[in-house]
Amino acid sequence: MALGEAGACGRLLRWPRVLLFGDSITEYSFQENGWGAYLAERLVRKCDVVNRGISGYNTRWAKLILPRLITESTSGDSIVAVTIFFGANDSALKELNPKQHVPLEEYAANLKSMVQYLKSVDITADRIILITPPPLQESAWEKACLAKGDKLNRCNATTGQYAQACVQVARECGTDVLDLWTLMQNNQDFSSYLSDGLHLSTKGNSFLAAQLWSRLENKLSALPSLLPYWRDVDHTNPEASLL
């Protein structure tokens, strides 16, 4: 049997997808020991974990491109979970970083707009997880800024306001939320979770991965492994097992 004929006989295999949408903390999540790579490993043969992290972006830009990433024809049952992880750039101080800064009220409105868009293309609230920005370790981030000739352009208290707004949007929209800003600061020094005061270290990636997996596991545990285990393939008649 030719390959073309075999393809015509079998149903097209479509892997469900988990979409990670965010800024650089998402873009870097597939690096070694990254939180996105952890999810991909856990979900291999069950889901494709798709990285749509875009370094430097804020919610003002993100809400414009989301409809170009997901449409009604690409969503529905094929997307089993979406993470929306913005705020680290939105919360930049306006006077020192006006390009990335988004006012707090607009940030909340933009998050709500993205959730509403996903719902409009049949991605239900139970499949959406908002993630707050992590806390900011100001002295380490100031060093990173100074190395580029800039002043400290973010502060942790301001980031916390954006995190609270993210939690509130999730509450209003009925989605799950991972309050990374609060969880990382619970009775502990959070600096080890960050590589440069802003982005995640190996420990921070592991922390986020574990927290996120605890939320995703229940949502995705019922998904079957795609294609049979190799020992279960009928080697005398593989078509019967694989098509």
pLDDT in tens, 14-46: 889 999 999 999 999 999 999 999 999 999 999
Quick check: is 232 in a domain?
A: no
Quick check: is 7 in a domain?
A: no
Q: What is the pLDDT of residue 223?
A: 87
Quick check: is 104 in a domain?
A: yes
Quick check: is 73 in a domain?
A: yes
Is pLDDT above 50 for 190? Answer: yes
Q: What is the pLDDT of residue 1?
A: 46
Is 235 considered catalytic here? no
Where would I find the H helices in 57-201? 59-69, 104-120, 138-147, 156-173, 180-185
Which position among 24, 78, 113, 191 bears the catalytic label? Answer: 24
Quick check: is 236 in a domain?
A: no
Is 24 considered catalytic here? yes
Quick check: is 185 in a domain?
A: yes
pLDDT: which is higher, 13 or 138? 138
Is 206 considered catalytic here? no
- Which residue range forms the structural domain that includes residue 138? 17-222
What CATH number is associated with residue 27? Answer: 3.40.50.1110
Residues 6+ apart with CB under 8 A from 203: 192, 193
Q: What is the pLDDT of residue 11?
A: 75
Q: What is the pLDDT of residue 73?
A: 74
- If one counts the domains in the chain, the total is 1
Read off the pLDDT of each residue in 102-106 and give the average, rounded to a whole number: 98
Quick check: is 67 in a domain?
A: yes
Which position among 192, 195, 196, 201 bears the catalytic label? Answer: 196
